[in-house]
Amino acid sequence: MLPLILLLVVTQLPCVQGDSTAVCRCKQGSASGCAALDPRKAAEIAQAIHELKIDEEARQKQAASSTSAKVQESSDAPEPPDCKGQQHHVISKPIAKELELHPTLMGVYEPRDSRFVTKAVDEAAHCGYQDWHRKIDAEVINYWLRTHKSATAKEFETFLRSVYNRPDMRARFPRGF
């Protein structure tokens, strides 16, 4: 059993360019290459390599599916059931993600940064990631962060305060931000 495990581990290492040995052919999943090494184990090794490839493909599909679900969830997530979320995080996850790419504001803020939280007037004013929230995030990201590449934290926070002092936002968050 140990030689099989060792061979399976070795088969996971890439071949060196120009290597046409039986070991390399076996690494690439060729049963005939494995057979040249040990004819008795060729079928077993080929089956094990095949199963490893299927497992890897399944892991990749799962990762792709998970990533696509997260993107969909963050872009148009339905309102959560039993929503009681009246706390609003000014630095949302999408804004924080963009901040991590910003030349001068990188590393200054965190997603859902506890320093930047305001309270909604009621449950209807803020429950989940509503349409108005996505629009504010898009404005902060597209209009401001991507066009103010040399902004300071103070300038960014002044802009955020101006957004939260607008009449429509004051109706949702009477204390502003």
DSSP string of 78-117, one letter each residue = PPPTT----EEESS-HHHHHHHTT-TTTTTT--TT-TTSE
Confidence of residue 122 (pLDDT cuts 50, 70, 90): confident
Q: Which of 11, 6, 5, 48 is nearest to 33 (CA)?
A: 11
Phi/psi of residue 124, nearest 5 degrees: -65, -30
Q: Which of 135, 99, 123 is nearest to 172 (CA)?
A: 123
- What is the model's pLDDT at position 162? 94
The single-letter code of the amino acid at 127 is C
Mean pLDDT confidence for 79-100? 76
Arithmetic mean of pLDDT over the chain: 73
How many alpha carbons lie under 13 Å from residue 28 in its C-beta half-sphere?
13
**Are the C-beta atoms of 65 and 58 separated by less than 8 Å?**
no
- What is the model's pLDDT at position 117? 86
pLDDT digits (tens, 9 = 90+) for 15-64: 666 666 666 666 555 555 555 556 566 667 666 666 656 666 666 666 55
Mean pLDDT confidence for 75-88? 52
pTM: 0.52
- What is the model's pLDDT at position 70? 44
Question: Is 19 or 102 the better-scoring residue by pLDDT?
Answer: 102
